[in-house]
């Protein structure tokens, strides 16, 4: 299965399974200690940072990735010194918490890439999945995930998506099959959230989303999903996955062939503007 289906979140066990998130647990423990030092219960602290007690509890247990504004919101109830401590703990967090071990190498490349190209035919790319879609993916994961692993995987994927926001100078290109949108994976509400999210992300100046039509006689993607990344020194590398395994492709000839196929698919898919129009039509038909 692809990283956008499973690997970006980890699988059930063995060498390819998810690594325990020590950094998330440490952050949660620090938050709990600071909250207790301020003599606040979770029920008292939660409304002051504008989150639910249940959500705060999940963060303290290391089961949820803390929101980016949590530190700033904590300064008033916990004090400026505690906020600085919490900020230091937040810097130790990594968006790779909960990622499968075999996915880490590509995750490192993603974080430094100048350009990222993704073609997907089996599932919406992980960087473009809204939370309802992510949860629908992991709810269908076999073997079934425990609640703790499930929440950690969701948090890891949402955190990984911050790449698009944090790297506005990185060009993100996505070619996705129209069949993935027509499938209504997860039901109508999930599909509605997906279409809204794709439209929103597609408005970013560093994101180009193109849909490959259902009928395309000249389709060059028959060899399957793939990813390409331009590194900081302007080299290109490729990446492919299948069923909890992956391969990083660095041979220049092989990468060149992947670039040629991807370039051809971009010319075969709907334009960015035509894709947005199709998404709006599909959204209106729900």
Domain membership of residue 17 (yes or no) is no
Domain of 71, CATH number, reads 1.10.260.40
pLDDT tens per residue, range 147-204: 888 888 888 888 889 889 888 999 999 999 999 999 999 999 999 999 999 999 999 9
Sheet with 207-212, side-by-side order of all strands: 207-212, 171-177, 115-120, 226-230, 236-241, 246-249
Q: Pick the last residue of a domain from 37, 57, 91.
A: 91
Residues 77 and 108 in one domain: no
Residue span of the structural domain in which 56 resides: 22-91
Is residue 78 located within the same domain as residue 160?
no
Residues 142, 259 within the same domain: yes
Residues 74 and 206 in one domain: no
Residue 149 lies in a domain: yes
pLDDT in tens, 127-150: 999 999 999 999 999 999 988 888
Same domain, 134 and 232: yes
How many CB atoms are closer than 10 A to CB 140?
Answer: 11
Whether residues 169 and 241 fall in one domain = yes
The CA-based diameter of the chain, rounded to the nearest angstrom, is 67
- For the question of whether the overall pTM of this predicted structure is more than 0.85, the answer is no
- Is residue 173 a contact partner of residue 272, using CB atoms and an 8 Å limit? no
Counting Cα atoms < 13 Å in the Cβ hemisphere of 273 gives 0
82 plus 165 within the same structural domain: no
pLDDT tens-digit series, residues 85-132: 998 888 766 556 666 655 767 877 888 899 999 999 999 999 999 999
At 152, which CATH number? 3.30.870
Q: 166 with 258, same domain?
A: yes
Q: State both tokens at 144.
A: 């079934």
Same domain, 62 and 132: no
Domain boundary (47, 64, 91) is at 91
Q: What confidence tens digit (pLDDT) does each residue in 42-62 have?
A: 999 999 998 888 889 988 988
Is residue 205 one of the residues assigned to a domain?
yes
- Do 191 and 119 reside in the same domain of the chain? yes
Residue that terminates a domain, selected from 30, 59, 91:
91
**Structure confidence at residue 245 (pLDDT):** 76
Q: What is the total count of domains within the chain?
A: 2
Whole-number average pLDDT of the chain = 87
175 and 52 housed in the same domain: no
Distances (CA, A) of 68 to 25, 34, 91, 114, 166: 16, 18, 11, 24, 12
Q: Answer yes or no: is 16 within a domain.
A: no
CA 150 to mean position of chain CA atoms: 14
**3-state secondary structure labels for all residues of the chain:** CCHHHHHCCCCCCHHHCECCCHHHHHHHHHHHHHHHHCCCCHHHHHHHCCCCHHHHHHHHCCCCCCCCCHHHHHHHHHCHHHHHHHHHHHHCCCCCCCCEHHHHHHHHHHHHCCEEEEEECCCCCHHHCCHHHHHHHHHCCCCCCCHHHHHHHHHHHHHHCHHHHHCCCCEEEEEEEHHHHHCCCCCHHHHHHHHHHHHHHHCCCCEEEEEECCCCCCCCCCCCCEEEEECCCCCEEEEEECCCCEEEECCHHHHHHHHHHHHHHHHHCCCHHHHHHHHHHHHHHC
Q: Which residues contact 275 (CB under 8 A, 6 or more apart)?
A: 202, 209, 210, 211, 269
For the record, the structure tokens of 246 come out as 């992956």
15, part of any domain: no
């Amino acid at each position: 299965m692809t990283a956008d289906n499973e690997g970006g979140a980890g699988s059930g066990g063995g060498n390819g399974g998810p690594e325990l998130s020590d950094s998330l647990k440490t952050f949660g423990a620090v938050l709990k200690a600071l909250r207790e030092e301020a003599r606040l219960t979770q029920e008292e602290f939660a409304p002051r940072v504008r989150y639910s007690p249940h959500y705060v509890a999940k963060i303290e247990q290391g089961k949820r990735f803390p929101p980016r504004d949590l530190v700033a919101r904590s300064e008033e109830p916990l004090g400026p010194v505690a906020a600085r401590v919490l900020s230091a703990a937040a810097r130790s967090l990594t968006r790779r918490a909960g990622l499968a071990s075999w996915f880490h190498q590509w995750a490192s490349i993603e974080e430094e890439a100048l350009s990222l190209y993704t073609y997907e035919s089996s599932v919406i790319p992980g960087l473009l999945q809204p939370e309802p879609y992510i949860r629908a993916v992991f709810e269908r994961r076999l073997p079934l995930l425990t609640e703790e692993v499930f929440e950690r995987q969701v948090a890891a994927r949402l955190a990984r998506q911050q790449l698009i926001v944090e790297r506005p100078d990185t060009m993100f290109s996505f070619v996705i099959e129209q069949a993935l949108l027509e499938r209504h994976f997860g039901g109508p509400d999930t599909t509605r959230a997906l279409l809204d999210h794709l439209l929103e992300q597609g408005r970013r100046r560093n994101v180009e989303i193109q849909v490959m039509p259902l009928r395309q006689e000249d389709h060059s993607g028959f060899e399957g999903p793939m990813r390409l990344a331009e590194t900081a020194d302007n080299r290109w590398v490729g990446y492919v996955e299948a069923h909890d395994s992956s391969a990083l492709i660095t041979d220049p000839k092989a990468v060149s062939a992947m670039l040629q196929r991807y370039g051809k698919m971009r010319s075969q898919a709907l334009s960015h503007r035509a894709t947005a129009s199709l998404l709006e039509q599909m959204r209106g038909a729900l």
